[in-house]
Amino acid sequence: MTPTPKLDERIGTLEEKLAELKRRQQRIEARKLALQTRRDRKVETRKKILIGGVVLDRLAAGQLTDSELRTWLEPALTAAADRLLFGLTERRRR
């Protein structure tokens, strides 16, 4: 038994709707992921600011010496501009 043309049309319409709903769901999921990524970045930035504040306060209070801070920074900072900001010498490229 062959499906009627009207039934074929209905199936085609439903398949198009399904495809559109799948595309919409993918866009929604992409927006959710982007939003979560932005939130995570904001949290990470806030943590860095707070940690930096604590380190600077300890440095000012004498609970952390400049040489101790430089010991932490020396291997961590690789960009010339970042090293200059903290008075570290530029690293030689290998």
Span 27-38, pLDDT tens digits:
999 999 999 999
| pLDDT of the residue at 18 | 97
Token pair of 87 as six digits: 């008075």
* Look-up of token digits 């319409």: 13
Distance CA 82, CA 68 (A): 17
pLDDT tens figures, 46-90: 999 999 999 999 999 999 999 999 999 999 999 999 999 999 988
Residues 6 or more apart from 78 whose CB is under 8 A from it? 91
Name the amino acid, one letter, at 94: R
This prediction has a pTM of: 0.66
Chain segment 12-32, per-residue pLDDT in tens: 999 999 999 999 999 999 999
